[in-house]
Amino acid sequence: MVTIKDIAKIAGVSHTTVSRALNDSPLIKPATKKKINELAETLNYIPNVNAKSLVNQKSYIIELFFSHLSKGTSNNFLGDVIKGINDTLPREYSLAVHELQEVANDLEHLNRIDGAIVMSQSDQDDTFIEALAKQNIPLVVLNRQLDTPRFKNVTSNDAQGVYQMLRHAINQGYSKFACIEGVPSFRSTIERKKGFDQALTEAALTYPPEYCVSGDFTLASGKTGAQQLLSLSDPPEVIFCANDDMAIGAINYCLEAGLRIPQDIAIIGFDDIPFSRFTYPPLTTISKPVYEMSKRATELLLARPGEDDHQKQFFLDTSLTIRQSL
Amino acid sequence: MVTIKDIAKIAGVSHTTVSRALNDSPLIKPATKKKINELAETLNYIPNVNAKSLVNQKSYIIELFFSHLSKGTSNNFLGDVIKGINDTLPREYSLAVHELQEVANDLEHLNRIDGAIVMSQSDQDDTFIEALAKQNIPLVVLNRQLDTPRFKNVTSNDAQGVYQMLRHAINQGYSKFACIEGVPSFRSTIERKKGFDQALTEAALTYPPEYCVSGDFTLASGKTGAQQLLSLSDPPEVIFCANDDMAIGAINYCLEAGLRIPQDIAIIGFDDIPFSRFTYPPLTTISKPVYEMSKRATELLLARPGEDDHQKQFFLDTSLTIRQSL
DNA sequence: GTGAAAGCGCTAACAG
DNA sequence: CTGTTAGCGCTTTCAC
């Protein structure tokens, strides 16, 4: 293992100078800097992160917390999130991962990390987030929109996505829209419904109260919801499901009932989980920019405090993914 | 931040004694040990991993490498793998994650890690694995069976799983079995086919050569494969697909063609990806014990060298997940 | 501009 | 059994 002292000896300078040169300190003459950097290169010097950590009081570890790691189809984005973060993180950093629930009662042992990104699905995670904050760990909350943004927060602009999708559908000539909502207390439920209503209102379209059934973001609830909607005496032409899981449930119901999609009934999802391209027929849905959101979250986490502190909350635009279910 | 020196001062001993006591050294009198441990407890002492790292030349980081992080449905298991590893790792360890491809050309910068688990999908990862080994990083290869086990390796017993599933199907009264194979060069392709053939041979069942078509583990190839098989003048009753992705492709073809599953044609998959319970109809498949495999891999990685070195390769049994496609 | 010396929190000889 | 001392590789005063 080659250390700065080795380099110092060969270069005929002190190890202090080497340290400064490698850290691009303004104190060092460009010439020495150049020489030392080249030397480090040829000697194949790699800084010892452990030593840096000790003296700098930084671990160079940031941690991603994920909720409900092993349930349902909900952690489909884990891969994209990890990629987004790693692509943004400087190379000396490591990205550690933990299931949120796993560490919720054992926060002390997280004292090691420099920062945290919490991929949150529901407001049940708030206790955990508060606890992290109390430990003075810099954090950003990803994926879920915070009502009162006391923490840095990046999510997608859900209302905008649904609005655009509905406009698209209206342009196709559809006019009878129903929806299966998510868990009532969730902010995402509200936002998505907002986009839905706005598009319809703008197009001077209305819908009867029974066209709006409430689900809970699970596949099963999508199935039940579709069944309810489609056994109405005057059924809708389009069902907007507040997430892909429910859309898949709805599709399954239609398949069972022998209904053709989109001829008999069109289905729209939200999220664009990796699987949604493989449903039958492939699901038309609204894509969340998970990768970009993760990048942004990482940038925010790394930003020196004070740099950007005025804005806490960031919304990234969703996009339409038109497949064949509408 | 409370350090061992703080504890030492209060306890009226040297910091060395504290260090030894906390590390449960046999050199320390039980009474002192007890006293110091209690003191540490009340003072809420948390060891500084960075300092330990420096002196012990260990980072207390182990890294999970994942291949093809963002493609297709293939990284469905990421969540379970992470959970399995974290549940096994002692608390002072952090689990870092990287996409394999991302770091393949920049191995130097992972000199930090204490060990690696490589979740490998194909033999294309071998170059990377070799490179890791050359850096003297302890590693275990997860998920893919190594032909020549030079490294620790944990996989599932694929042949056994397929064999059992076929026996099950035969007991149901089925007798005309076809299969869609995976990438020919892959070990898993061979193993799964082996179980298939063995079960049929034992039951004195045969199949014509055209009942065996080759896919490449993608959904598209499953679709094409099913189409081929089902346009035969004498089509099979059951199609075994070498993974769930292809099974889903096959299902999609059947849905398009208006075939009922399993009445007209039964489909069997392999893997039990999270989504397979949500296909229409829900997929009957062979489950890999991903969580247990990950735990075992972690144990293997942590085992002190020499402890268990005779056995390098571990096979964990798969299980049958009977749903409704057969 | 550069170097000498101290120290981050911990472990490990060595001495007693 | 316990304490003294040194040192892991690096950054950072403080001199020069």
Q: What is the pLDDT of residues B279-291, one digit of tens each?
A: 999 999 999 999 9
Sign of CA dihedral B96, B97, B100, B101: negative
CA distances from B106 to A80, A90, A95, B59 (A): 21, 13, 16, 19
Of A55, A250, A20, nearest in space to B48 by CA: A55
CA of A220: which chain B residue's CA is closest? B278
DSSP code, position B271: B
**More confident site: B295 or A310:** B295
Q: In what order do the strands lie in the sheet containing A139-142?
A: A313-317, A152-157, A139-142, A115-119, A61-66, A94-99, B94-99, B61-66, B115-119, B139-142, B152-157, B313-317
Q: Give the Cα separation of B36 and B42 in Å (integer).
A: 10
Distinct helix (H) and strand (E) counts, chain B: 12, 12
Q: What is the mean pLDDT of residues A161-182?
A: 97
Please name the residue whose C-alpha is nearest to the C1' of nucleotide D9. Answer: A51
Asked if CATH classification 1.10.260.40 holds for the domain at A4-46, the reply, yes or no, is yes
* Cβ of B32 less than 7 A from strand D: yes
A71: number of Cβ within 10 Å: 12
Continuous H helices in A57-157: 78-88, 100-103, 126-134
Q: What is the pLDDT of residue A305?
A: 67
- Reduce the DSSP state of residue B143 to 3 states and report it: coil
Q: Which of B37-41, B99-103, B246-250, B310-314 has the lowest mean pLDDT?
A: B99-103
- Reduce the DSSP state of residue B244 to 3 states and report it: helix
CA of B92: which chain A residue's CA is closest? A109
pLDDT tens digits, residue range B225-238? 999 999 999 999 99
Q: What is the pLDDT of residue A70?
A: 47
Asked if CATH classification 3.40.50.2300 holds for the domain at B158-287, the reply, yes or no, is yes
Stretch (H or E) spanning B61? strand B61-66
Chain A and chain B share a number of CB contacts under 8 A equal to: 140
Residue B42 in this model has a pLDDT that exceeds 80: yes
**CB contact at 8 A, B103 and B69:** no
Q: Give the Cα separation of B222 and B180 in Å (integer).
A: 7
Q: Give the Cα separation of B50 and B57 in Å (integer).
A: 10
* Cβ of B50 less than 7 A from strand D: no
Q: Give the Cα separation of A118 and A103 in Å (integer).
A: 12
The amino acid occupying position A238 is V
- Chain A residues 37-76, Cβ below 7 A from strand C: 54-55, 57
CA atoms within 13 A on the CB side of A155: 23
Tokens of B186: 């892959």
Give the model's confidence band at A308: pLDDT under 50 very low, under 70 low, under 90 confident, else very high. Answer: low
* Cβ of B29 less than 7 A from strand D: yes
Is B95's CB within 8 Å of A94's CB? Answer: no
Q: What is the mean pLDDT of residues B172-188?
A: 94
Tokens of A232: 């109405």
| Total count of residues recorded for chain B | 326
Tokens of B6: 């703080």
Residue B240 in this model has a pLDDT that exceeds 90: yes
Q: Give the Cα separation of B181 and A201 in Å (integer).
A: 52
Omega cis (within 30) before A235: no
**Residues 6 or more apart whose Cβ sits within 8 Å of residue B29:** none
Q: Give the Cα separation of A99 and A101 in Å (integer).
A: 6
Apex CA A278: angle with CA A272 and CA A282, to 5°? Answer: 75
Q: Which of A262-271, B15-24, B63-72, B87-96 has the lowest mean pLDDT?
A: B63-72
DSSP A15-34: HHHHHHHHTT-TTS-HHHHH
Q: Which residues of A, range 213-272, sit inside 8 Å of B by Cβ? A: 219, 248-249, 251-252, 255-256
Q: What is the pLDDT of residue A307?
A: 58
- Reduce the DSSP state of residue A113 to 3 states and report it: coil
Task: Give bridge partners of residue B287 from the DSSP assignment.
Answer: B271, B319
Q: What is the mean pLDDT of residues B293-300?
A: 96
A292 touches chain B (CB under 8 A): no
Q: Which of A66-75, A93-102, A168-177 has the lowest mean pLDDT?
A: A66-75
Q: What is the pLDDT of residue A135?
A: 87
**More confident site: A124 or A160:** A160
Q: What is the pLDDT of residue B242?
A: 97
CA of B49 to C1' of D10 (A): 16
- How many percent of chain B have pLDDT more than 70? 96
A14 touches chain B (CB under 8 A): no
Q: Which of A111-125, A164-178, A302-316, B178-192 has the lowest mean pLDDT?
A: A302-316
Tokens of B56: 């012990």
The amino acid occupying position B104 is A
The amino acid occupying position A277 is R
Residue A72 in this model has a pLDDT that exceeds 80: no
Domain spans of chain A?
4-46, 61-156+290-315, 158-287
Which of the listed ranges A100-109, A181-190, A198-207, B295-304 does the model predict with the highest average pLDDT?
A198-207
Q: What is the pLDDT of residue B68?
A: 65
Q: What is the pLDDT of residue A225?
A: 98
Q: What is the pLDDT of residue A213?
A: 97
Q: Judging by beta carbons within 10 Å of its beta carbon (0-12, 13-18, 19+), is residue B192 exposed, middle or buried?
A: buried
- If you classify domain B61-156+290-315 with CATH, what class do you get? alpha beta
- For B170-250, where are the E strands, in sequence order? 177-181, 212-214, 238-241
Q: Which of A61-75, A114-128, A283-297 has the lowest mean pLDDT?
A: A61-75
The amino acid occupying position B77 is F
Is A97's CB within 8 Å of B82's CB? Answer: yes
pLDDT tens digits, residue range B50-79? 999 999 999 999 999 987 644 444 566 888
Q: Give the Cα separation of B303 and B291 in Å (integer).
A: 19
Report how far apart the first and last C-alpha atoms of chain A are (Å, whole number): 61
Of B240, B214, B277, nearest in space to B161 by CA: B240
* Cβ of A23 less than 7 A from strand D: yes
Within this chain, domains A4-46 and A158-287 share the same CATH topology: no
**CB contact at 8 A, B86 and B95:** yes
Q: What is the pLDDT of residue A68?
A: 65
Q: What is the pLDDT of residue B304?
A: 74
A32 touches chain B (CB under 8 A): no
pTM, two decimals, is 0.92
Q: Which of B94, B106, B248 sits opposite A112 (nearest CB)?
A: B94
**More confident site: B211 or A309:** B211
Stretch (H or E) spanning A156? strand A152-157
Q: What is the pLDDT of residue A278?
A: 86
